[in-house]
Structure 1
Amino acid sequence: MSSIRLRLLKWVIPPVLLMNLGAGALAYTLASPHLREAVLRTLILVEIVIGLGCVGLIWFSVSNGLRPLSRLRADLNARDGDDLAPLAADAVPYELEPLVSSFNGLLAKVGEGAQARQDFLANVAHQLRTPLAGLKTQLEWLGARHAEPETVQSVRLMLSATERMIRQTNQLLALARAEPQHFEKARLEPLALDALVAEAVQGFVDQATLKSIDIGFDLAPATVTGDRFLLRDLIDNLIDNAIRYTPVHGAVTVTVRPGLLTVEDNGPGIPSAMREQVFSRYVRLDDKTHGSGLGLAIVRDIATVHGAKLSISDPASGRGVLFTVKFP
């Protein structure tokens, strides 16, 4: 890979040195014979100083000129993979405006494609909800009326598969609702966060019981401004994630304080290096745990559109992980 600095040094330094040498040769020729030795020593010193000065000046000038490109690179590198916001064109030099404009055009095309795929997934998920719910109802009806072992086993397997499909469908819908383009601020209203959490926890008691997990909650009255459906999705995904990764006979605790929601477990925890990655879509902590890898991405998006701060830390016990959502 070529360097702009080295190319400038290559094309600028030799002509400058040649002109200096020519001027020096002329001065040497015009000097008196008895002064030529002193003139030669002076010229050599001057050429060295001028050469080094040119190299330093060019290096500094090019570095200063390339700073806008460095800022653009830093901006792009600091972005999440799904951040397609246009680059700011008003703060770049005139020469870089075509490059920024081309980047923004590309980002806009990528964003349109991503939005089209997101809309398609949301529409498909929405269309699937009704038939899947009907299928689950029919399977439950069938299981209640046939006690043959083979039939019971088949119905159980079909119900399990149907429930997984329903969960994935609901995850896709939650992801679509949390998109900034689909977020409706008109739906924001004062909500009792503690009541939402109490309602959500009850839905996970059976799931926790299957793993002998002690699921508890410590709820203080707390009111937040938000979208009821999205906040319920956020709470559900945090609790579901905790139960999934907590081992048998573990514990999950959900706490609510004014403006604060925490979900703590005593599972294997999340290494510091992976704590940012887990909020990316389709990322799972391990391949042994079932799931799509969308849960924490949904939590992040919902927290973002509500202006809440989402963080991961080590619990006081030193084992497991603590998710904290701090509302404004």
Structure 2
Amino acid sequence: MTLSRPVRPSLADCLGPAEHRFFGDGFRRVRQRLHDIRVVRGPHAAEARARASVRYPPDWSAKSTKGTLVPHLSSIDTLLLGAQLAEILLVHAYDLDPGARSRMWLREVRLRAGGRPQEDLDHLAVHGVARPAESVPVVDGLRATVVHTRIGSMDVRSEVQHETGDGYRADSGEARHASAVDALGEPCRCYFVEQFRHRGLEFVDMAVDRAAREIDATVRITPAPGEGHPFSTGLEAAYGPSASMIDAITVTGQLTQVLLYALDGLDRHDSDTLWLRRATLSTRLPLRALDRPFPARARIEDTHRLAMADDTWRACDLSYSFHGISGRFAVAHRLPDRGPRSR
């Protein structure tokens, strides 16, 4: 087989059954909880402090040659908790009603990890701030506001488009919520709390070009039961069911794994956990229909090995496109001791 010709394996051939993989089904079984939320509003900013915990089941990812895999705070965990806090902050800052909440949407999210994976998941400190000075007008009655959030050692920058109502409430105020459920409502009606777990995902087709270090796939996403208007509430509900940034991470994460394992001649069972160091997800529109399959692509733009303590890691920068969402990921994973070939 020549390297210049794309090969067309199935995802299961490359990575194994979805039920044994984090980006396959494992992420659906992880439980994120945002609690002890205190929001304070003042003339120049709305600020929130909270606690979070993330619980991984023992079978979140299965690899036959590994012992117990230690989970870390993932890009999915961080995006979900950041989206929940951003919604809570902006609702409090602009006094948004349920209809306006449902029409809020994420224009861009930037994720940045700390120097090491965040493995303490029981007691995560959460801090978020939204400043009207960092809010820009889109059209009359609409603004895009940046919400900065820190969750443990990870930073999230969320740019949210939202209605303004009567404008930013510059008077001082405070609100407390025992949990995100108290602030946002029934989890089963909120995509960024519960509905994301219940979508279906199928890779209809896939082609890997090893010479170009890129991968193309055709993807079909099935909405969660009952998802959409009028049942769904909260962030992006008015546009659903629509392809989301969570979908973009889970699909691109799997395509990235295929490329990385091909790069070093690895089998997934010999690999370590994929660590996402930085990510950018951007979109121009909130409507990304799920009525038919659509293309997705990932490409390695740069790659190198690096030494950390006594281990060798593979680091990669990738670009991707996914149904109107695009951006870049910087990922790394620890290489096994057997000394895989270098490219």
Q: Into which bin does the TM-score normalised by the smaller protein fall? A: under 0.3
Structure 1 or 2: more helix by fraction: 1
Name the larger-Rg structure: 1
Structure 1 or 2: more strand by fraction: 2
Larger relative contact order (CA 8 Å, sep ≥ 6):
2
TM superposition score normalised by structure 2: 0.22
TM superposition score normalised by structure 1: 0.23
